[in-house]
Amino acid sequence: MSMSIRISQLAIPLLCLGAFVVHAEMGVGTVQDPVTRQYTDNVSKDWQEGIVLHPQTGNYIVTYKDAWGFFNSVILEPATKIDPTLKSKFKLSDSVNTVVYEYKLRNGPKAKQDIRMLLTLVSNISGNPTGPLDWDGRIVPTFTDSNLFLSWTYEDKDAKVLPLRGLAPGKTADGFKVESNDLPGVVMIKVKGNARHTTWLGNVPSIDTEVGQKVVLLGSMDHIPELAAAPVISVPTPFDAAVVLITIQKHLAQELVRRKLVDASLAGQLDQLFQAAIVAAKGGNTVALKSNLQALRQLLKEKHGEMGKDDEDKDDDKDIDKNYVKARDKKLAAKVLDFDLKYIQRRLGDD
């Protein structure tokens, strides 16, 4: 994807904020210069609370009234001045029924920030995630369901000068790796740049105010989304083909079709075969189950015969257009579905 498209995404959160007008109020406060980031105190003027995008820097100017009655106008830098390309691979490991997931990350040469973090949701991880030098992989419970937050954060432990950096523009890092007993699905991975910290004067804008609510909304959108394979299809112990098939079918409908990674016509054909396979699995009809699994894989092969090809020969230094990204993500979805179905075949004794 071209850098011009990436940078244009900086304005998207502001558009989503919606137009809101707060009447001007005379008062005294502090103004942070959007270019030099220097502060001017005791500014007396008519203050207009709100959030505006500063076109020269691509940062936001947040103006708010603090709890002491003073006004503040500070700079909020989004973590989206990056140009990430994330590639994922997955394969069965040498150990029984364990899947190895590997990721390769590139930051385009026109990016304005280093990449600092990768974050997504997964169902289960075996052991701890590993990563390149200075990248700290972590697993943290969501505390709202059984899923886990999987993240990698750049933390240069030997850095003598702050701020910490990350994956610089034009650079590539591989070695991001996790293992899981669960099967792959296609997930959205949040990629965040190394934005400068916002110094909130007085206090962070209160969530009870409209400005505070918009700041929270900006924070929830402060990333570039990349699609990749990750463990999200739970595999029960003892193995139950029907349960796994139901989970894959749900992922197909709720994620792959919703993200337009599988065409509606193909999704309908796949759904019919999934239903037949689930009925056969629940009824213990192994012959019919194997036949339906093979029919599912054959249909995927007919529609996505290129899914076995790799994209490693793609020139990472060139801009990747939207059509290529769409085709690449559709191929990833087909590869994920085929891998999951092949896994079930192996658990049933078919190799």
Angle value at C-alpha 146, between 145 and 147, nearest 5 degrees: 95
Q: Are 105 and 176 in contact (CB under 8 A)?
A: yes
Sheet holding 99-107, edge to edge: 84-92, 99-107, 172-180, 126-130
Which pLDDT score is estimated for 11?
A: 46
Tokens at 318, concatenated = 């060139």
pLDDT at site 94? 78
Please state the pTM of the whole predicted model: 0.89
Q: Which residue type is seen at 79?
A: A
Give the neighbor-by-neighbor strand order of the sheet with 183-193. 135-141, 148-154, 115-122, 183-193, 224-233
CA distance 7 to 194: 15
How far apart are the C-alpha atoms of 234 and 343, rounded to whole Å?
Answer: 13
Cis before 225? omega within 30: no
Q: Count the alpha carbons within 13 Å of 6 in the hemisphere toward its beta carbon.
A: 28
Residue 131 dihedral angles phi and psi, to the nearest 5°:
-155, 180
What lies within 8 Å, CB to CB, of 281 at 6+ separation is 240, 241, 242, 245, 289
The pLDDT, as a whole number, for residue 325 is 82
* The residue count for the chain: 351
- The answer to whether 106 and 172 are in contact (CB under 8 A) is yes
Taking Cα atoms as reference points, which of 195, 198, 212 lies closest to residue 76? 198
| pLDDT of amino acid 5 | 38
Number of Cβ atoms within 10 Å of the Cβ of 333: 25
3-state secondary structure the chain: CCHHHHHHHHHHHHHHHCCCCCCCEEEEEEEECCCCCCEEEEEEEEECCEEEEECCCCEEEEEEECCCCCEEEEEECCCCCCCEEEEEEEEECCCCCCEEEEEEEEECCCCCCCEEEEEEEECCCEEEEECCCCEEEEEEECCCCCCEEEEEEECCCCCCCCCCCCECCCCEEEEEEEEECCEEEEEEEEEEECCCCCCCCCCCCCCCCHHHHHHHHHHHCCCEEEEEEEEEECCCCCCCHHHHHHHHHHHHHHHHCCCCCCCHHHHHHHHHHHHHHHHHHHCCCHHHHHHHHHHHHHHHHHHCHHHHCCCCCCCCCCCCCHHHHHHHHHHHHHHHHHHHHHHHHHHCCCC
Answer for the pair 54, 34: CB distance below 8 angstroms, yes or no. Answer: yes
pLDDT at 302: 93
Rg (CA), the chain: 24
Q: State yes or no: cis peptide before 169, omega within 30 of 0.
A: no
pLDDT per residue as tens, the chain (351 positions): 444 434 445 444 554 554 444 568 999 999 999 999 999 999 999 999 999 999 999 999 999 999 999 999 999 999 999 999 999 999 998 777 899 999 999 999 999 999 999 999 999 999 899 999 999 999 999 998 889 999 999 987 665 555 568 999 999 999 999 999 999 999 999 999 999 999 999 999 999 999 999 999 999 999 999 999 999 999 999 999 999 999 999 999 999 999 999 999 999 999 999 999 999 999 999 999 999 999 999 999 998 877 666 655 454 545 566 777 888 999 999 999 999 999 999 999 876
